[in-house]
């Protein structure tokens, strides 16, 4: 089965995670896909495939040779971003010949080259799109499809290979994907998350990441007699946001530049809430951004009274670079596999995070590979069928080349 065919079957499973939930996984619907993936792995012959009590899928493709070879893992996440709907996805394949793509004629939803100029890079390819009302979930169901297809290709080839570990995680999009990952049980020497973007991307530097939750406590009173009495929580919430640097936001930053991102705001007169994500590649700048949030909270509490602002900040993950650099052969092996399949590697910093970032700090070095998708977390998300197939070949080459090269010390 082709990687894109698998992908199209996976997108029929809604798997959006929920930051407000305290369950594991955060949404039960992720378990439905987990069970289906477990069945598929067993069907491929990975008899130890299982879904654990936290909704993680694990499986092993055993070594078929006596040579000492590094055990390699491949990991992707099952959940989709809460930033766009994944319910009733109407995915279709476009034979792309250039120009704008009408996603939804009735709603006049068009993916325009003027907005996404890199769309032109896909001329002559077949790309999967939605009807413009949902995402398609290439982040990260494309990665799952590519791993599954690579496993199938390895089995069918009959060529010598070492043990391969497979892991599919829930709740990556809300920063919890590695929370309950069984690194010891996974028992890989190193791994790759398959969770990146355009083909050729190879990433081992990511943001340091945190989430901030601000509760604003106000005082409500009739507007007609509110002078010097009302404390409008929503207005104060807006004031908090206005005190942050206006240019340090996603829409005004790129490359190694960090940002704060207001992901949600809600409330009324008595109560308001803001949720942010905080990101920076540089650890010192990351800590400074978090300190700035605390300084603003203190300033507003001095202005409006103690307890007006309640701030909580929790770190999600850190830059994996320091854990990968001592074992750069992991990157070199990925670069070689790309070149073997006619792909030029592009090492770029991740303006986001993957499960691999945290796993690297849990003892499993885990850089990130491309999926062939673009415009993640968006109604304009798309993925290339040809790229997905090539990436499955790259994963296959990583496994087979490792058998040829033998075990590397770590």
Tens-of-pLDDT digits for all 410 residues of the chain? Answer: 999 999 999 999 999 999 999 999 999 999 999 999 999 999 999 999 999 999 999 999 999 999 999 999 999 999 999 999 999 999 999 999 999 999 999 999 999 999 999 999 999 999 999 999 999 999 999 999 999 999 999 999 999 999 999 999 999 999 899 999 999 999 999 999 999 999 999 999 999 999 999 999 999 999 999 999 999 999 999 999 999 999 999 999 999 999 999 999 999 999 999 999 999 999 999 999 999 999 999 999 999 999 999 999 999 888 999 899 999 999 999 999 999 999 999 998 888 777 888 899 999 999 999 999 999 999 999 999 999 999 999 999 999 999 999 999 98
The dotted CATH code for 208-317 is 3.30.70.360
Q: Would you state the pLDDT for residue 348?
A: 86
Q: What is the pLDDT of residue 361?
A: 94
Matching residue, tokens 């089995």 = 155
Domain ranges of the chain: 3-206+319-405, 208-317
How far apart are the C-alpha atoms of 349 and 254, rounded to whole Å? 10
pLDDT at position 355, please?
A: 84
374 is catalytic: no
The predicted pLDDT at position 175 comes to: 85
Contacts of 251 (CB under 8 A, 6+ apart): none
pLDDT, tens digit, for every residue of 345-400? 999 888 877 788 889 999 999 999 999 999 999 999 999 999 999 999 999 999 99
Note if 19 is an active site residue: no
Tell me whether the CATH fold assigned to 3-206+319-405 matches the one assigned to 208-317.
no
Q: Which one of 1.10.1200.10, 3.40.1050.10, 3.30.470.10, 3.40.630.10 gives the CATH number of domain 3-206+319-405?
A: 3.40.630.10
Which one from 172, 205, 248, 381 is the annotated catalytic residue?
Answer: 172
Which pLDDT score is estimated for 229?
Answer: 92
Q: Output the pLDDT for position 351.
A: 86
Residues 6+ apart with CB under 8 A from 106: none
Q: How many CB atoms lie within 10 A of CB 43?
A: 10
- Which CA distances in Å does 102 have to 96, 129, 153, 252, 407? 11, 10, 35, 28, 50
pLDDT at position 350: 84
Instruction: Choose the catalytic residue: 79, 173, 203, 248.
Output: 79
What is the reported pLDDT for 404?
A: 93
Looking at residue 352, its pLDDT comes to 76
């Amino acid at each position: 089965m082709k990687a894109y065919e698998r992908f199209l079957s996976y997108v029929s499973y809604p798997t959006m995670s929920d930051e407000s939930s305290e369950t594991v996984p955060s949404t039960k619907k992720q378990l439905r896909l987990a069970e289906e993936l477990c069945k598929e792995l067993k069907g491929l012959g990975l008899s130890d495939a299982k879904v654990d009590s936290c909704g993680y899928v694990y499986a092993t493709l055993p070594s078929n040779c006596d040579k000492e070879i590094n055990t390699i893992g491949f990991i992707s996440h099952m959940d989709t971003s809460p930033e766009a709907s994944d319910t009733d996805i109407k995915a279709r394949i476009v034979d792309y010949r250039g120009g704008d793509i009408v996603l939804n004629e009735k709603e006049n939803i068009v993916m325009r080259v003027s907005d996404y100029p890199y769309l032109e890079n896909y001329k002559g390819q077949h790309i999967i799109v939605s009807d413009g009302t949902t995402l398609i979930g290439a982040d990260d169901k494309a990665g799952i499809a590519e791993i599954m297809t690579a496993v199938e290709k390895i089995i069918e080839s009959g060529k010598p290979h070492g043990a391969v570990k497979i892991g599919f995680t829930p709740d990556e999009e809300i920063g919890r994907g590695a929370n309950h990952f069984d690194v010891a049980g996974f028992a890989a020497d190193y791994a790759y998350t398959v969770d990146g973007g355009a083909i050729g991307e190879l990433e081992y530097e990511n943001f340091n990441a945190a989430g901030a939750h601000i509760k604003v406590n106000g005082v409500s009173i009739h507007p007609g007699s509110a002078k010097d009495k009302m404390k409008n929580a929503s207005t104060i919430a807006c004031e908090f946001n206005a005190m942050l640097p206006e240019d340090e936001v996603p829409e005004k930053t790129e490359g190694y530049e960090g940002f704060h991102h207001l992901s949600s705001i809600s409330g009324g007169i008595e109560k308001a809430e803001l949720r942010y994500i905080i990101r920076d590649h540089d650890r010192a700048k990351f800590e400074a951004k978090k300190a700035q949030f605390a300084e603003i909270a203190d300033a507003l509490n001095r202005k409006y009274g103690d307890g007006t602002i309640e701030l909580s900040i929790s770190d999600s993950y850190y830059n994996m670079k320091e854990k990968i650099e001592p074992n750069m052969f992991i990157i070199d092996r990925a670069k070689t596999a790309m070149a073997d399949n006619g792909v030029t590697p592009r090492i770029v910093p991740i303006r986001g995070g993957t499960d691999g970032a945290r796993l690297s700090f849990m003892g499993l070095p885990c850089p990130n590979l491309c999926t062939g998708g673009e415009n993640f977390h968006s109604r304009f998300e798309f993925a290339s069928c040809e790229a997905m197939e090539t990436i499955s070949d790259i994963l296959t080459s990583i496994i087979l080349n490792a058998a040829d090269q033998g075990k590397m010390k770590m």
